[in-house]
Amino acid sequence: MMPRGDGTGPMGQGPVGGGNAGRGGRSGRMGGGMAAGPGGVCICLKCGEKVSHQVGAPCTAMSSPKCGAKMVRG
């Protein structure tokens, strides 16, 4: 029951069900935990060439300097 009718639980102490109900405990942007961080390497799945990952540039936007194929984060 919502005594104040404002969507909060008993005595106006937050939403019914509690703080992060239904959120799965994730944090961060887009559900959290998906970004690999600033370091690491980009790898070509075709030829195996490895290149240092550049901050701000996704590996999928890079081409292998050896064969020209798209790279992935490794």
pLDDT tens-digit series, residues 16-49: 655 555 555 545 455 445 566 778 999 999 999 9
| pTM (global) more than 0.75 | no
Helix (H) or strand (E) holding 44: strand 41-44
CB 40 within 8 A of CB 53: yes
Q: What helix, strand, coil percent values describe the chain, rounded to 5? A: 10, 20, 70
Burial class of residue 7 (count of CB atoms within 10 Å of its CB; 0-12, 13-18, 19+)? exposed
pLDDT tens-place string over residues 40-65 = 999 999 999 999 999 999 999 999 99
